[in-house]
Amino acid sequence: MIKIGLIGKTNAGKTTFFNAATLLKAAVSTYPFTTKRPNIGQAYVKTVCVCKEFGVLDSPRNSSCIDGARFVPLQLIDLPGLIKGSWMGKGLGTQFLSVAAQADALIHIVDASGSIDADGKITKPGMGNPVADVYDIEEELVRWFVKVVEKTFRKLKKHPKKAQSVERGLIEDLAGLKITPDHVKKALDKNSLAEKGLDEWNQNYIWNFARGLREISKPTIIVANKMDLAPAEKNFEKLSKEFGHAFVVPAASDAELALRRAEQKGYVEYVPGEETFRVRSREKLTAEQREALTYVEQRVFSRWIQTGVQFALNTCAFKLLGLNAVYPVEDAERLSDKKGNVLPDVFLVPSNASVGDLATEIHSELAKTMIYAIDARAKIRLPADYRLKDRDVIKIVAATRGKE
């Protein structure tokens, strides 16, 4: 399952974002390091389901379909807040960074209202510096990557005969951090280091490689949180201008959490990521509840169209990681599994994934016995190396089932 890590300073709103996305009640507090250990939950990315295109009523198993919108699960990890020196283990830094390394991508939650100081402590809105906060966290991440790469080079230099190449040594040593051979190759090429021998690497080369590896292996979007507070709009403009190369998403996690809880209790009709919500029976709400929903409407939806939480998750999965949603079925005519469930499952796969990769994702034995696949739309055979496209509906034919 795809893993996305939430990073940021204490009090930036990481845990509120996490709760809004997963509806788990993780502890929220203004005290530093409220998140003592990672909170892990299931969130969802939203994509247009193929059910309406095929004109069928689907019966999802591993996901949900709401009015033609398919919500596909992923793992969301709320990590302890970073402070300066985290890369050396200060605070909860070592724990944070070791878990962050297992993520496929990161969402950097920033307090756009400027309500926290450099140390993550609560201050008057507008007094904090969100742009500086981003750079602080980025420095900690890069320094930790430098530390890891330096450790690898120390190993290589102790056993130079075993190190057939720097590239191979890096690939083998960094594999446990969800860093692929392709990540290593791209970081080397980016800094023209692919041909450098072990003795040629200096500290500057290590820094450049580590920085590139961090960017390539852990792609990141910035979520400008607390956009419902007055100073946030100017800071959002500053963040967008400073980090134009990255995705900066405006969000109001508190508003999303309030709507999700209100929807659970039946007070409102709301689908995550939609641009509106409807109050079911306003007369049944308390004055405080009505006031809260009015605040969400006026301070969030009228200004920013949506709360940004679902949009951030979608951006992370489909823009940063370039994932495609693929629907495997066992009956290409009925679009169902053996039990008759229509479009039962959907898998998020990389943009370069093949039918063979999908078979492996479903079950290792299926990959071993696969003969070919069938495109449920075109009704044509596909080879194992066919590159999957978004919204493909695929039947995998295995040897144990006989040829068709």
List, for residues 49-96, the tens digit of each pLDDT value: 999 999 999 999 999 999 899 999 999 998 776 656 554 555 544 556
Q: What is the 3-state secondary structure (H, E, C) of the chain?
A: CCEEEEECCCCCCHHHHHHHHHCCCCCCCCCCCCCCCCEEEEEEEEEECCHHHHCCCCCCCCCEEECCEEEEEEEEEECCCCCCCHHHCCCCHHHHHHHHCCCCEEEEEEECCCCECCCCCECCCCCCCHHHHHHHHHHHHHHHHHHHHHHHHHHHHHCCCCCCCHHHHHHHHHHHHCCCHHHHHHHHHHCCCCCCCHHHCCHHHHHHHHHHHHHHHCCEEEEEECCCCCCHHHHHHHHHHHCCCCCEEECCHHHHHHHHHHHHCCCEECCCCCCCCEECCHHHCCHHHHHHHHHHHHHHHHHHCCCCHHHHHHHHHHHHCCCEEEEEECECCCCECCCCCECCCCEEECCCCEHHHHHHHHCHHHHHHEEEEEECCCCEEECCCCECCCCCEEEEEEHHHCCC
pLDDT category, 26, cuts 50, 70, 90? very low
Which residues, other chains included, contact 356 with Cβ-Cβ below 8 Å and sequence gap of 6+?
Answer: 367, 370, 384, 385
Percent of the chain with pLDDT over 70: 89
User: Which pLDDT value is given to residue 34?
Assistant: 43
Q: Which has more pLDDT, 38 or 30?
A: 38
Q: Which has more pLDDT, 27 or 20?
A: 20
pLDDT category, 180, cuts 50, 70, 90? very high
Q: What is the mean pLDDT of the chain?
A: 88
pLDDT category, 400, cuts 50, 70, 90? low
Q: Which of the given ranges, 97-101, 159-163, 220-224, 283-287, has the highest pLDDT on average?
A: 220-224
Q: Is the pLDDT of residue 134 over 80?
A: yes
Q: Which of 120, 150, 143, 124 is nearest to 133 (CA)?
A: 120
User: Which pLDDT value is given to residue 27?
Assistant: 41
Q: Per-residue pLDDT tens for 295-349?
A: 999 999 988 899 999 999 999 999 999 999 999 999 999 999 999 999 999 999 9
Q: Which residue matches tokens 């990481």?
A: 14
User: Which pLDDT value is given to residue 404?
Assistant: 43
Structure tokens at 253: 């996690």
User: Which pLDDT value is given to residue 282?
Assistant: 85
User: Which pLDDT value is given to residue 86?
Assistant: 55
d(CA 347, CA 358): 8
d(CA 364, CA 362): 7
User: Which pLDDT value is given to residue 176?
Assistant: 83
pLDDT category, 31, cuts 50, 70, 90? very low
